[in-house]
Chain A
């Protein structure tokens, strides 16, 4: 279970995730975001075995430093190859030979890549080997994905600075962790993907983001409260006359 978010910003992409790894009834903490090269990172939701097999494939890929645009199909092929290799060792595979969707469902996975060279780019790859560019908007994957879409939708077409995007990513994952019944957990990892300076933010920076997110959350509630006070103090009737609804 996972939540990974990629938010494009004015000069890069913010890539963030929770860090809970769930295996059956047991939870642990782990890394979900990996460096592809100096300009790009990747992360995936789904089965750990599948993600590990993809990471192994990637380690053997000599062109991993090339732009995503150049290696998109190679990456997609390696995702598909990882899925196939999982199915090859799974005894259940024989029962679903004529049902490809059910086969893919045996080892679920969803892969996101973020890059910034001349401009921010987000690439989404499915285990069936297809890929799509996510153009001009955020992307999310994992069981917390719907929460991310609900919380981020209002910012979908807005230009964000890197600081704003980091704050939003942090806040959304933090709020999703509070709400989702299982599978998501702290700490929250945040990466800045910028031209040649891709890095994970330090724990101190992450703490400062957490405190900024707390202020923002308090301020959202405060804003609503102040609207209420203004309404009580205004001359506008609290309820509109009948027929004006």
Chain B
């Protein structure tokens, strides 16, 4: 599936602010969408086992990686590494609308410093309906 320009812009804007692994990238883009009033967006979020998940984000990342806009750093566990913008990705970043960058930058910087639990706790506080299938929420309920 070919990534749309809107999808590409959001991913590039987030990674321009900070290299992110897939989980932090997913939550960054979700929070930007949520805080922006949940208008019709390029990604389609649904509750999943680790909170809000847009399956189309994975396809978009794969497409951008194939086209040389982003690269995933090596990691001992397959696909746990952070994504970085390549030179081509940085070039593409110059054409990103400023409102997209402004919305994404503070969230991406914050997310890059968070452990998974604090990150997910923050997401669930803001959007509890996306925790309905969460592994962590299930653990909380079981206590």
A and B from one complex:
yes
A228 contacts B by Cβ under 8 Å: no
- Fill in one digit per residue for A43-69: 1 if any B CB lies within 8 Å of its CB, else 0: 000000000000000000000000000
50-70 of chain B: CB within 8 A of chain A: 50, 53, 55-56, 58-59, 62
A208 & B53 in contact (Cβ 8 Å cutoff):
yes
B22 contacts A by Cβ under 8 Å: yes
- Chain A residue nearest to B79 in the complex (CB): A210
A90 contacts B by Cβ under 8 Å: no
- Fill in one digit per residue for A206-235: 1 if any B CB lies within 8 Å of its CB, else 0: 011111101110110011000000000000
Q: Provide the bound-state CA to CA distance between A186 and B56, in Å.
A: 22
Q: Provide the bound-state CA to CA distance between A212 and B80, in Å.
A: 12
Given contacts A203-B58, A216-B135, A219-B117, contact A211 B23 (CB under 8 A): yes
Q: Provide the bound-state CA to CA distance between A186 and B115, in Å.
A: 26
B136 & A208 in contact (Cβ 8 Å cutoff):
no
A208 & B58 in contact (Cβ 8 Å cutoff):
yes
- Chain A residue nearest to B138 in the complex (CB): A164
B48 & A212 in contact (Cβ 8 Å cutoff):
yes
- How many of chain B's residues have a CB under 8 angstroms from any CB in A? 25
Q: What is the CB-to-nearest-CB distance from B39 to chain A, in angstroms, rounded to a whole number? A: 23
Q: Which residues of B contact A163 (CB under 8 A)?
A: 49, 133
A218 & B116 in contact (Cβ 8 Å cutoff):
yes
Q: Provide the bound-state CA to CA distance between A108 and B115, in Å.
A: 46
Question: What number of A-B contacts does a CB cutoff of 8 Å give?
Answer: 64
B77 contacts A by Cβ under 8 Å: yes
Q: Provide the bound-state CA to CA distance between A211 and B23, in Å.
A: 6
- How many of chain A's residues have a CB under 8 angstroms from any CB in B? 24
Q: Which residues of A contact B94 (CB under 8 A)?
A: none
Given contacts A207-B22, A208-B55, contact A215 B79 (CB under 8 A): no
Beyond the given A212-B135, A215-B50, could you list 11 further A-B residue pairs with CB under 8 A, ordered by the A residue number?
Answer: A167-B49, A178-B77, A186-B79, A204-B55, A204-B56, A204-B59, A208-B58, A211-B26, A212-B48, A212-B50, A218-B117
Residues of B in contact with A (beta carbons under 8 Å apart): 22-23, 26, 48-50, 53, 55-56, 58-59, 62, 76-80, 115-117, 120, 133, 135-136, 139
9 A-B pairs with least C-beta separation: A212-B49, A204-B58, A207-B58, A204-B55, A215-B50, A186-B78, A212-B50, A218-B116, A211-B23
Residues of A in contact with B (beta carbons under 8 Å apart): 163, 167, 174, 177-178, 186-187, 202-205, 207-212, 214-216, 218-219, 222-223
- 6 pairs of residues in contact across A and B, judged by CB atoms under 8 Å: A204-B58, A207-B58, A211-B23, A211-B53, A212-B50, A215-B120
